[in-house]
Amino acid sequence: MKLTFRIRSCATALILLMPISLMQASESQAASSLTYSALVKITNKAIDDARNDDVGQVCTYGVHKRTTSFTNPPLDYMGEEGDLWILGELFELSYYNWIFLYWDGTEWVDASNDLWTAYDLNHDGMISGEQKTEKGLVCKFSNLTSTEVVGKNPMTSYIGEIGDLFIKIDSKYADAKFYFIWNGSKWIANLENPYTLAHAVALRTKVGEYCVYGKNKDVFSSYYSTPPGNYKGVKGDLWIVANKVTGEAYSTDYWNGKSWIGVSAEEVETLRKINDAAQFKARNSTSGEVCYAGTVKSTQTFSASMPKSYKGKVNDRWIVMDKKGEKNSIFYYWNGKSWVLN
């Protein structure tokens, strides 16, 4: 299921003449009409700007700080022993290698050193603990703020900046995170949130979250520790086993008609090509590739011609994919009457 979706981003003179209070009101009014995707651009730009400057994107929990930046940490750092600096080093176009560095009170030490494993565990525990507090895990980036809280919805009485981010972590499924962005007057929910929950629930069932494309099928499930040996399917089918707690995939196997073949086997390349061809053919058709997470359905296709007389359920998803893979995919959601752009 090679789907990244599963998720399996005036004239200057006139501005200067405008009174600050009116300018803020104008900005807030303009932002209030923006979609979630448009607000995401504001948030992402602030994150990129922060990571590209010397301050970085900074999260605080307990006595510690976690900084994410594309610049090296300061050698004269003033902080607590065990503070974490996540350094992004460009290695291919816009992709980064992430290096974890810890402050030992005197210098920065690479986390790959076995001596610093304890720091890794301590940070995971502290971050998890902070997310369960009343205020949650708070991070700063440029002039904006993000908050991650377990089991809490964002406050309607919130006062903050346009582009502030709120992440609600499901109290039962830690991998289910629901995103909200502040538009200046209210929180705008990511329309993906219902599918996120449906995915988390489905992958813990025997059926799992599954996709069908032509005669082929793939399954994403944490119900099994390994793919079922008594499987009945066609050559090229894909099975992904996930961790029951984190929801993260830890094994991928292809069906050769008689048994499951892991990705390290020589035979897998032939099976992968069969799977890729079946997915491409389905996505290039009018029906598309269709995935199911419980009762919620997602259609992935290269066609932007969505059915107007759709008979599905609210929160069903339609993804318009780019055939060449050069552009971001466009997500639409069914509200019971029409398709809505996220």
- pLDDT tier, 6 (very low <50, low <70, confident <90, very high otherwise): very low
- pLDDT tier, 230 (very low <50, low <70, confident <90, very high otherwise): very high
Contact 57, 49 (CB under 8 A): no
Beta bridge partners of 170: none
State residue 119's pLDDT score: 67
Q: What is the mean pLDDT of the chain?
A: 87
State residue 307's pLDDT score: 87
Contact 169, 131 (CB under 8 A): yes
Q: What is the mean pLDDT of residues 33-37?
A: 87
- Residue 33: half-sphere exposure toward Cβ, Cα within 13 Å: 4
Q: How far apart (Å, rounded) are the C-alpha atoms in residues 240 and 260?
A: 11
State residue 21's pLDDT score: 37
Give first-to-last CA distance, the chain, whole Å. 23
**Interval 61-81: pLDDT, tens:** 988 999 999 999 998 998 998
Q: What is the mean pLDDT of residues 296-311?
A: 91
- What percentage of the chain reaches a pLDDT higher than 70? 87
**And the tokens for 285?**
């058709």
- pLDDT tier, 308 (very low <50, low <70, confident <90, very high otherwise): confident
**Residue 339 reports pLDDT greater than 50:** yes
Helix (H) or strand (E) holding 66: strand 64-69
**Residue 228 reports pLDDT greater than 80:** yes
State residue 306's pLDDT score: 87
**Interval 188-212: pLDDT, tens:** 999 999 999 999 999 999 999 999 9
Structure-model confidence comparison of residues 152 and 307, the more confident one: 152
Q: Residues of 225-259 as b/e, b for ≥16 C-beta within 10 angstroms?
A: eebeeeeeeebbbbbbbbeeeebebebbbbbbeee
Contact 298, 316 (CB under 8 A): yes
- pLDDT tier, 8 (very low <50, low <70, confident <90, very high otherwise): very low
Contact 301, 321 (CB under 8 A): yes
Q: What is the mean pLDDT of residues 47-58?
A: 94
Bridge-based pairing of strands 238-242 and 216-221 is parallel
State residue 327's pLDDT score: 80
**Residue 19 reports pLDDT greater than 60:** no
State residue 275's pLDDT score: 96
Q: Return all residues near 63 (Cβ < 8 A) that are at least 6 apart.
A: 80
Q: What is the mean pLDDT of residues 136-149?
A: 97
- The torsion angle over the Cα atoms of residues 71, 53, 91 and 64, rounded to 10 degrees, is 60
State residue 263's pLDDT score: 86
Q: How far apart (Å, rounded) are the C-alpha atoms in residues 160 and 164?
A: 7
**Interval 96-123: pLDDT, tens:** 788 889 998 888 988 766 655 666 667 8
